[in-house]
Structure formats: C-alpha cells, structure tokens
Amino acid sequence: MKRFEKKATIKDIARMGGVSISTVSCALNDSPKVRPEKRDLIQSIARQLNYVPHDLARGLVTGNSRTIGLNIGIGDNPYLVKISDKIIHIARENGYGVLTSIWQDDESRKKDLNMFIQKSLNGIISGPIFGGYDSTLENIYNNHSIPMVMIGNSEYMKIPQIGVDFRKAIFLVTEHLIKLGHKEIGYLCMPQTAADWLGGFKDSLLEYSVKYFPEWCIEGLGTLKEGYDKMKLLLKSASPLPSAFVCHNDLCACGALRALNEAGLKVPLDMSLTGVDNIEAGMYCTPSLTTVNLKEEDFAIQVFNQLKKQIEFTADHKMMNLPNILIEPELIVRESTSPYKGRKTK
C-alpha cells in the first residue's frame, strides 16, 4: 500500500477471496467455525492487501475499545512518572492502549475525564488523591458505568483505591531519627493532606515521648523548589535549628538539601534529613537520602490488576466490591541521617 491509497477492508478481502464478509471476519479471528485451509487463504489475502483491522468499527459493535484512560497529576514527581510508565507498560502487555492525560488543575482534569467517557474506554485510572473528597471523580464514577480505580487514599471516597500508607511512611522515618537520638525534629508537610501524614509524624513522637514543635512544622508542596524555599525560610527564622528534618518526599528533600548546602550546613553532621519515595535522584545525590521505599512497580501492578478485575466483573454484569489496597512502606537508610551530635546555631 502506498501513501494516500485507501485502506483495505474486510469487504475487499471477501471479494478477493470469493467468500462472504462474515466468513472473513471469522477467519481473521481464528474462529474454529471456518475450515483451516480457507482460514489460511483468507489470512494470506489479508496480509497481501496489508489489511489492518479497524478498531473504531470493531469497538462500535463490541462496545469494547481496548483502551483505558490514565488521568494523573504527576506534578514533576519522578515517583508518579515511574508509576505511570509502569502502568502504561503493563496495560500494553495486556492488550490495552492507554489514553493519557496529565492534569495540573481541577478544570483540565474534569475536561479530560469527560473526554474519557466519550471515547468509551474500558476503564479509568485517576489520581493521586490523598485525603479529602473529590466530587469530579466521584460524579464520573457514579454517573457512568465505567470501571475505575483511584490512586491515593481517602476515606471519604467510594471508588476502589490503591494507595500508600503515608502515615506509616512518615512514622518510619521519624522513628528512625528518634532512634538515632534526635529530639528536635522538623517536618515539611503537604498542605492538603497535612492531617493524616502529620498524624504519622506525631504518632511517632508520641510513642517515643519526644516533644512536638509546631513552629518547625512547615507546609509545602513536594517539589524541588518548595523544598528549597521552605528550608531557606526555616534557616532564616529558627535558631537554634532542629537537629533533624523530615521531608514528605525525596524531591523536596533534595531541594532542602540544596538550601542547607548553600547555607554552609553539612548533612547529616549539622542536620539529618529524610525523604519519602525512593526516587533515583535521592540515591545519587550527596549525601544519598535516607528514605522510604514505596515499591512503585508493585504499586503499578496492583493498580492495573484492580482495574482489570473491575473490567471483567462489569463485562459479566456482576457487582463487585473491591477492597482498597495500601502499599506497605519500607525504610531505606542511607547517608543523610546520622546519630544526634547536638544542634546547630546560626
């Protein structure tokens, strides 16, 4: 076939092979109803004509687009990039195309989800949503019979969820610092979800009877810039400084590290520092980051599997109740934390 020639259809094959359209369809789908010799003949004609099945037509009649939608807010975080990457990969291995949308605000998110509905996707993966209630997503879920899983976790939402036990993650790093002898610990926490993760932080302090200093608990997004900016702010205002600092992810920890370096402070000598996510950058920065492994590969697999289950259930017109899943975090100790050796004054 040359450029600008019209595509061959099942009809062309039928004409050429002197058989009916339905026979061609069966033959191409390897149905046992068609005689092997005829099947081979038809398939060879198809090959000869450079035939490519027309998924739109097929989808229209079967009601199956063999495509899922991934609607994710990566916000520059390599952890979410990895998860997306992996999901796309697994989906492809399972024969699904992945329509991807990356949202930055709620409005674009809504538009994208509506587009997803129009395209009769087999299912939707959306996230991350940590805590709170997202009406956009829940409306889509309730108003359309479409399989969906949500990345994140929120007790207020009825959509099947795959999340990470962030509370536990924060607990782990905090506990680690406390066990190293630190007693003055700061925390850079997410604005929206402060409550739950902050809970992990406080739990840990409480369990080991360490005092909580609200003035060292700063809100900031999980980006390099925010980690840098907020740490700089802390360095300007606080003296003496906390001897250890918990960042809510590796990315902002790297930013904070930069701010500390600029101020001439050594990590971990002058201040221990921890992240969460176990991104590659945290392994190769100096000092390498103590962090929490959130097993992105496992995560992605679980996400896809839950969606697949739902797709199958829905196809069978069965109702199902999928349990929410929480990925268990795992502490990884590296160079950015060390035993307490006193606090630094500016």
Partner DNA sequence: TTGACAAATCGAAACGTTTCGATTATAATA
Partner DNA sequence: TATTATAATCGAAACGTTTCGATTTGTCAA
Instruction: State the burial class of residue 105 (Cβ atoms within 10 Å of its Cβ: 0-12, 13-18, 19+).
Output: exposed
Instruction: State the burial class of residue 201 (Cβ atoms within 10 Å of its Cβ: 0-12, 13-18, 19+).
Output: buried
User: Residue 333 touches which of a copy of itself, DNA, none (CB < 5 to 8 A by kind)?
Assistant: none
For DNA, the closer of residues 28 and 98 by Cβ is 28
- What's the one-letter identity of residue 201? F
Secondary-structure percent of the chain, ordered helix, strand, coil, rounded to 5? 45, 15, 40
User: Residue 254 touches which of a copy of itself, DNA, none (CB < 5 to 8 A by kind)?
Assistant: a copy of itself
Of 163-182, which residues contact a copy of itself (CB under 8 A)?
none
For DNA, the closer of residues 6 and 318 by Cβ is 6
Q: In this chain, which of 247, 254, 273, 325 binds a copy of itself, going by CB under 8 A?
A: 254
Taking CB under 7 A as the binding criterion, the range among 17-25, 176-184, 211-219, 242-250 that sits at the site for DNA is: 17-25
Of 24-53, which residues contact a copy of itself (CB under 8 A)?
50, 52-53
Q: In this chain, which of 1, 48, 60, 233 binds DNA, going by CB under 7 A?
A: 60
CB of 111 to DNA, least distance (A): 18
Cis status, amide bond into 240, omega within 30 of 0: yes
User: Residue 26 touches which of DNA, a copy of itself, none (CB < 5 to 8 A by kind)?
Assistant: DNA
The kind and range of the H/E element at 335 are none
26 binds DNA (CB under 7 A): yes
CB of 167 to a copy of itself, least distance (A): 27
Taking CB under 8 A as the binding criterion, the range among 12-20, 71-79, 155-163, 293-301 that sits at the site for a copy of itself is: 71-79
DSSP-based three-state secondary structure for 343:
coil
Number of H helices, E strands in the chain: 13, 12
Bridge partners of 150, per DSSP, are: 126, 161
Residues 161, 162, 168, 170: what is their CA dihedral angle, to the nearest 10 degrees? -100
CB of 2 to DNA, least distance (A): 17
CA distance 116 to 69: 6
Q: Report the interface residues with DNA, using CB under 7 A.
A: 6-7, 9-11, 18-23, 25-26, 28-29, 32-35, 38, 51-54, 57-58, 60-63
